[in-house]
Amino acid sequence: MNILKWLECPPTTGPKSLILLRLMVGGVFLWEGVLKFVYVNQGVGRFTKLGFPAPKLLANFVGILEIGGGLLLLFGMFTRWICIPFMMEMIVAMISTKIALYLGTSPLPLPPSPPQIGMWGCVA
């Protein structure tokens, strides 16, 4: 029962930086959801290459979840509730893509090479 109360009654006070964090995360999820519908290689194509069952249905579901959830985060509504499916989505994304990329077994193309010159080239 305490967890439901925690989910339903978030505090009304806190650091102002949380607003910026919520806007940034909400914007990323909203944009990634839109990209799943705009570019086939970000949605259905990606889910097909990764071997997910029913890639079209799953890509559409995840895209709608990201758009709707991103908007909820941007507007500050049901933020604790929407973070639960977002956490599950991110765990699946890391397991299905990032580990395979790290091990060199991913069916996805490798990311472009990091910059060799300029400000970002010095970071590595």
Q: What is the mean pLDDT of residues 79-108?
A: 89
- Cβ 101 vs Cβ 108: under 8 Å: yes
Q: CB under 8 Å to 44, separation ≥6 — which residues?
A: 55, 56, 59
Residue 122 has pLDDT above 80, yes or no: no
- Cβ 34 vs Cβ 69: under 8 Å: no
Flag whether 13 is in a domain: no
Domain that holds residue 68: 20-104
- What does the pLDDT look like over 18-45, one tens digit per residue? 899 999 999 999 999 999 999 988 899 9
Domain count, the chain: 1
pTM across the whole model? 0.82
- 66 CB neighbour count, 10 Å cutoff: 22
What distance in Å separates the CA atoms of residue 122 and residue 64, rounded to the nearest whole number?
Answer: 39
Flag whether 28 is in a domain: yes
Flag whether 11 is in a domain: no
Residue 124 has pLDDT above 80, yes or no: no
- Lowest mean pLDDT, pick from 62-76, 80-94, 97-111: 97-111
